[in-house]
Structure 1
Amino acid sequence: MTIKKLCIFFSICYFCTNIYAQTVNNLGVNYTIHSKSLNEDRQIQVFVPESYKTTDKKYPVLYILDGQRLFPFGVSLLKSNTHFQLTPEFIIVGITNKYPDRFGHFIDIEKRFLKFIEEEVISYIDNSYRTSDKRILFGWEYGGSFVVQTMMDKPDLFDAYLAASPFPLDNKIEELDNFLSNNPRINNMLYFSVSPYENQVNIGTKKLDSLLKLKAPKTLNWNYKELENEEHLSTPYSTIYFGLKKFYGYYPELQFNSLEEFTKAGGLNYVNEYYKKRALDYGFSSNLSDWTMFSLTRNAIRAKDYNQFDIFINEFKETGFLERIRINRSCLIAEYYLENKQYDKSIEIFSLLADKYPNSELPLIGLGDNYKSLLNNKKASMYYRKAEKLFKNKSN
């Protein structure tokens, strides 16, 4: 037996002697681990994404402290995010911390608890599942303080550190100051947030925010958010959502809520750079997505800014996106040309759609509306009759 095979064999034997129970349910698999670091039995929960069984790719892992409460939310968020393509798929690991022991785990024996996570939980997950080298750690309250401490103790263990209402932090500010001075090239992500109404918690987070503004290296991707509509018990949910959104910032198709937001971001130069970065990070095409091109055009329509609308269409038309997007969206664009008396452009698009969708009455009605505006009642009537006939045939 080779040395490599022996290592694998002894590794399997080690885990078999320490993981002695598991149950499967709709939220994945529950494991009971006997932790040598803590000298006690520990429960963890594992959920793999939908594609895990049908692919051979490796997945990032999100580790959630207080899994007994927050693991189900993580699973729900994963399903929602991947359905709407807001983040890539990832594995979720919930680490159970029961009351009142959790306070001691995160404060009194935090070094031992971190050893348990690094040497027993992460090792088991990496040996049992197809994991990539990307890891995220989330914690709330005392668990949030533990997350910040973990970043200082093991900055390379996780790529992103997400902390909701981290407490206590006052006693860590001096250590954090030294840590930042001694790690000028740290390139992790730190995301921490709090409700504005958490009193003692706010004192610590504001001190951390002030320290980071003064001392954080440019390579540290950090963000502090006050969650105006949350309270102490609800900050974990918003923090996981916004933290993942921040970490996977270049993953979604780009969308702006208004032309003002688009202009403030940097206009088309920003949009093009975003898609280059998206392609580099996740392997997508560097071309703008159809949704981005349509949503930008729709923002111009909603703002009644014809000049910007026409700029977008001229910029995007050669990509063929008008033929690929949903017919009602293409019709909206053609209708806006009609509204602005640009009949030739409107007719061109409606004619293209009529050829592409011969069983839809929408382009025919649009052509009828154009010719009616041009006082060509004969042609208008012809298209209206065709649309009416199609509608009646579908009704029957």
Structure 2
Amino acid sequence: MTAGQWQPYQERFPGPGHTAVGDLRVYSDLHSPQLGSRRDLVVCLPPSYRHTSLAYPVIYMMDGQNLFDEATAHAGEWQVDETMARLAAEGVEAIIVAVANGGDRRTDEYSPFSIPGEGGGQAQQLAQFVSEIVVPLVERDFRVHSGRQSRFLFGSSLGALFSLYLLHERPDQFGGAGLMSPSLWPAGYAIF
């Protein structure tokens, strides 16, 4: 697999033990000059994507390795793929973009504030990566509605803190954010 191409999830992660379902595509080793690192992106396409010419809203979700697959998740997968399939059956469809966290650098990347003894303070670089590289890549390669009214963020814990931060920093680019169990405490609740 060459970096810079989308491939089916099952080809990128073959073998037993994977629980991802549906039409998932992986962009391997996407380079972030802002962060000086590489990471995979996973896109979950709605069931109707192959059979229509419709464009879809997009939800950019943090901690991407937790969304679809027990084999890659930390403390259990979120079953976003199964949930989106159920919602599609009810007529609600969106493209999910799973942005993997930086592993040991998760706190550094997700917190806009320095946290004594834990890191933090690199959220601006991650915000630039998502806004300037990830969003244009997705909008180039998939049928999506462009514009802030069709772009949303979602995160849990520090991923929720980052989602709120990115929404605040780029209100012209994102229309809303879902926050699950948000860690808003860093730097004495400075996000407010």
- Please confirm whether the aligned pair reaches a TM-score higher than 0.5, indicating the same fold: yes
Report the Cα distance in structure 1 between the residues aligned to 2:190 and 2:41, rounded to whole angstroms.
33
Report the Cα distance in structure 1 between the residues aligned to 2:191 and 2:100, rounded to whole angstroms.
28
Show the 5 A alignment for 1:101-250. 101-107=105-111, 108-133=121-146, 134-169=150-185, 171=187, 176=192
The superposition leaves residues 119-174 of structure 1 with CA deviations (integer Å, 9 ceiling, x where unpaired) of 11111000000101301100111111111211221122211211112113464756
- Opposite residue 165 of structure 1, the aligned amino acid is S
- Opposite residue 129 of structure 1, the aligned amino acid is F
Contact 2:157 2:183 (8 Å CA) reproduced: yes
Flag the 1:38–1:174 CA change in 2: closer, same or farther, 3 A: closer
Show the 5 A alignment for 1:270-309. none
1:24 pairs with 2:9:
yes
Return 5+ residue gaps in structure 1 as ranges: 1-16, 177-396
Counterpart in the other structure of 2:89: 83
Flag the 1:142–1:175 CA change in 2: closer, same or farther, 3 A: closer
Cα distance, 1:45 vs structure 2: 0.2
TM-score by structure 2 length? 0.74
The superposition leaves residues 213-243 of structure 1 with CA deviations (integer Å, 9 ceiling, x where unpaired) of xxxxxxxxxxxxxxxxxxxxxxxxxxxxxxx
Report the Cα distance in structure 2 between the residues aligned to 1:149 and 1:169, rounded to whole angstroms.
13
How many residue pairs match? The answer is: 158
Indicate which of 92, 99, 103 corresponds to 1:99: 103
Counterpart in the other structure of 1:311: none
Show the 5 A alignment for 1:336-355. none
Contact 2:153 2:167 (8 Å CA) reproduced: no
Report the Cα distance in structure 1 between the residues aligned to 2:155 and 2:63, rounded to whole angstroms.
7
Is the partner of 2:57 in helix, strand or coil? Answer: strand
Report the Cα distance in structure 1 between the residues aligned to 2:6 and 2:47, rounded to whole angstroms.
24
1:56 pairs with 2:40:
no
Report the Cα distance in structure 1 between the residues aligned to 2:136 and 2:188, rounded to whole angstroms.
28
Flag the 1:23–1:49 CA change in 2: closer, same or farther, 3 A: closer
Counterpart in the other structure of 2:41: 44
Report the Cα distance in structure 2 between the residues aligned to 1:175 and 1:105, rounded to whole angstroms.
15
Report the Cα distance in structure 2 between the residues aligned to 1:39 and 1:174, rounded to whole angstroms.
26
- Opposite residue 138 of structure 1, the aligned amino acid is F
The superposition leaves residues 101-127 of structure 1 with CA deviations (integer Å, 9 ceiling, x where unpaired) of 211111221000010001111110000
Report the Cα distance in structure 2 between the residues aligned to 1:174 and 1:141, rounded to whole angstroms.
15
Flag the 1:172–1:158 CA change in 2: closer, same or farther, 3 A: farther
Flag the 1:123–1:42 CA change in 2: closer, same or farther, 3 A: same
Is the partner of 1:156 in helix, strand or coil? Answer: coil
- Opposite residue 42 of structure 1, the aligned amino acid is R
Report the Cα distance in structure 2 between the residues aligned to 1:161 and 1:155, rounded to whole angstroms.
11
RMSD: 2.2
The superposition leaves residues 12-59 of structure 1 with CA deviations (integer Å, 9 ceiling, x where unpaired) of xxxxx9725744324411112122222211111011111111211110
TM-score by structure 1 length? 0.37
Report the Cα distance in structure 2 between the residues aligned to 1:50 and 1:161, rounded to whole angstroms.
24
Contact 1:57 1:130 (8 Å CA) reproduced: yes
Report the structure, 1 or 2, having the larger helix content. 1
Report the Cα distance in structure 1 between the residues aligned to 2:172 and 2:185, rounded to whole angstroms.
21
Report the Cα distance in structure 1 between the residues aligned to 2:7 and 2:138, rounded to whole angstroms.
14
- Opposite residue 62 of structure 1, the aligned amino acid is I
Percent sequence identity is 27
Report the Cα distance in structure 2 between the residues aligned to 1:21 and 1:127, rounded to whole angstroms.
12
Report the Cα distance in structure 2 between the residues aligned to 1:140 and 1:24, rounded to whole angstroms.
23
- Opposite residue 44 of structure 2, the aligned amino acid is F
